[in-house]
Amino acid sequence: MNEPADGIRTHCPYCALQCGMVLRQSRPGTGRRDQGAAAPVTVDAWPQFPVNRGALCGKGQSATELLNPAARLGTPLVRDGYGTALRPATWDEALERVISGIRSVQAEHGRDAVGVFGGGGLTNEKAYLLGKFARVALGTSAIDYNGRFCMSSAAAAVNRAFGLDRGLPFPLADIAETDCVLLVGSNLADTMPPALRYLTQLAERGGRLIVVDPRHTRTAARADLHLRPLPGTDLALALGMLHIALAEGHVDEDFVAARTSGFAAVRATAMEYWPARVEGLTGVPAHQIREAVRMFAQAPTGMVLTARGSEQHSKGTDTVHGWINLCLALGKVGRPLSGYGCLTGQGNGQGGREHGQKADQLPGYRSLTDPVAREHTARLWGITPAELPGPGTSAYEMLDTAGTPGGVRAMLVFGSNPVVSAPRADHVEQRLRALDLLVVADVVRSETAELADVVLPSAQWAEETGTLTNLEGRVVLRRKAVEPPARVRTDLEILSALAARLGRAEGFPADPRLVFDELRTVSAGGPADYAGISYERITEENGVFWPCPADGHPGTPRLFLESFATPDGRARMMPVHHRSVAETTDERYPLYLVTGRVLAHYQSGAQTRRVAALRAAAPEPYVEIHPSRARRLGVLEGEPVTVTSRRGTAVAQARLSTEIRPDVVFMPFHWSGPGRANTVTNPALDPVSRMPEFKVCAVRVEPVAARQAPPGGGGGAGRGRRQPGRPRETGSASAVQTL
């Protein structure tokens, strides 16, 4: 495919759609930029890219604002000791600080005392090299990434049910062609606006949409039927729907017999969830549950799509199994225009776990405990299987024990902001302060960077080349369009330099194409096989779907049409039971809090809160509360309120809305400081996926007197790290406080 004469085809830096766009610069670059103003870069449509077909949300349209040096980190920063401010440093000084700190910690506490925390927005090349760096250069098992907070529950369930996890086992365009979509825990209108075109096309064809969400969102407003369960009861709803499907004869017995196993146990479990019981558990009227079953079951084709609202629970894996069981029982998996899919959220949440960032996985989606996989990977990495560490702890568990005996004592964070994005965030902030060494590599001076001993400025999306894997399993090429500032390096350059200083000068190239070629070789033969994917093919074909095991292979847009990726080719149905949320309401904490995103912002907001247009569209956090509940509490529209759980308190303005249940309140999670929603969220973990229960916890809501200063509750901007008895930093506050 030829490039536009005056532009570069690339992809958006935000969500897992990886929308195509064209970047144009007013004047050509001539090497790395100095710290002055950059040449303006504009975003135009790329109508030929099949995912978004030229459509972009406000985040994508304004993405180039972050290329301005004033909006981002431009030089390494170091801290000279507890209580001192971060100051500019040379790269040599910053890297030497990192290496000396690593060596000191490992000499005293062992190799696993150094942890690596990655990000779901890192390219495949970065994710691959970061995993290799942790296990080969550092020799540590302590690596995980914030994708653990994204779709790990769905991944665990899909792997067990189908034998292979890919967010969507079909292209997004198939959604418009099916007959009925059951959308569970997703608000596409705010999280992935360009994907709404497929729901619009679905409706224009006469297809039906069922939305499961406790809030009447802009997406739910499009639905033919909206089910509003009590948060944390989606599994009971799925079991109740299967019960009705069984009772009314909707099960596809031939499909179940030919292509599944385990149905007898699942049938027996579902019979315990009769409509009246499920209505009592979920609050969804039994007649609506019956209507949903009939609408979905009687459609010739259909899809169930889940997202974080259904998955970010301490029983998220079982909940996804419940929806998969319903799909399988109705014969709506493994057939054209039918299936179960997970709407991956982060830009490279899919590829990030496929290639080694996850604590228990090796590149190619191989298991770290599989002796054959260990031998294969170790051989290609030039080490012995015995030298390859075993699985480490999950993301929250690593954060929870940081700085404690037996936990990591040093941590390298690449492209993540856990001070805002982790559950029980005030506790996580304190654990990061207790580390002997905290290193943050990022584009912006995030709240987590404010706590670091060393901050390394990273190049960003338009300043480097690399591949990402979107929610369809389509591998795309994000292409370099401009040069980074002079004192900024790519993450690959940073990892290469650190590895060389640790005695691993070979095997850690900084050239992304060389890293990708190695990734292709190491992934060959694995579940996520990229061997046949090249930069050239991606460019020519608008992305290539994995698995793609050879150069001549066409890629695999649609999975499971002939068989599932299990040893016997059958999908495995798993009996699951509803259980209560980890934390129920009581007299002291009578409401449930749910958290989520707003249209203008993305994840922890570290980038979008620096974009003027997005900041103006959503300048501050809020608490959405039903007017009837607000009257009982004496809360007025726009009045500041406290939201308090057993872990802490957040403060934000009240926003009254009839679109939410009276027993539920909602907060977006994009802000730091007093309005940090994750100060109050519950870190209770799913026993399989180790996903925290972000989506529901028990809280109380109270008005704040107008004259009263809001209480604390987190947000580490400008405070620095400290230990007991050590003074806090007295340096200037970060710009993030004013955003």
- Can you tell me the distance from the alpha carbon of 114 to that of 109, in angstroms, rounded to the nearest whole number? 9
In the chain, the domains with their CATH numbers are 8-71 (2.20.25), 77-150+357-545 (3.40.50.740), 152-342 (3.40.228.10), 591-717+725-738 (2.40.40.20)
Q: What is the pLDDT of residue 25?
A: 86
Token digits of residue 196: 């709404």
Exposed e or buried b per residue across 395-431, where buried means at least 16 C-beta atoms within 10 angstroms of its C-beta: bbbbbbebbeeebbbbbbbbbbbbbbbbbbbbbbbbb
3-state secondary structure of 639: coil
- Environment class of residue 391 by beta-carbon count within 10 Å: exposed (0-12), middle (13-18) or buried (19+)? middle
Q: What is the pLDDT of residue 19?
A: 97
Token digits of residue 110: 């062992």
Q: At a CB cut-off of 8 Å and minimum separation 6, what does 642 contact?
A: 649, 650, 651, 701, 702, 704, 710, 711
* Concatenated DSSP letters of 262-327: -HHHHHHHHTT--HHHHHHHH---HHHHHHHHHHHHHSSS-EEEE-HHHHSSTTHHHHHHHHHHHH
Q: What is the pLDDT of residue 4?
A: 62
Q: What is the pLDDT of residue 330?
A: 98
**Partners of 643 in the β-ladder:** 650, 701
Q: What is the pLDDT of residues 74-133, one digit of tens each?
A: 999 999 988 899 999 999 999 999 999 999 999 999 999 999 999 999 999 999 999 999
Phi, psi of 724 (to 5 degrees): -50, 130
CB 230 within 8 A of CB 214: yes
**Partners of 21 in the β-ladder:** 10, 45
Q: Which residue has the tokens 């795309």?
A: 476
CB atoms within 10 A of CB 36: 8
Q: Could you state, in chain order, the average pLDDT of each consecutive group of 10 residues for the chain (739 residues)? A: 74 96 76 58 94 96 93 96 93 98 98 97 97 98 94 95 96 98 96 96 98 97 98 98 98 98 98 98 98 98 96 97 98 97 91 91 96 98 97 97 97 97 98 98 97 98 97 97 96 98 97 98 98 97 97 97 97 97 97 96 94 96 98 96 98 97 97 97 97 97 67 40 34 26
CB 711 within 8 A of CB 724: no
Closest CA to 52 of 3, 88, 89, 12: 12
For the chain, the first-to-last Cα distance in angstroms comes to 41
Exposed e or buried b per residue across 353-390, where buried means at least 16 C-beta atoms within 10 angstroms of its C-beta: bbbbbbbbbbbbbbbbeeeebbebbbeebeeeeeebbe
- Can you tell me the distance from the alpha carbon of 314 to that of 114, in angstroms, rounded to the nearest whole number? 28
3-state secondary structure of 448: coil
CB 593 within 8 A of CB 643: yes
CB 78 within 8 A of CB 87: yes
User: In Å, how far from its chain's centre is CA 530?
Assistant: 22
What's the per-residue H, E or C state across 169-189? Answer: CCCHHHHHHCCEEEEECCCHH
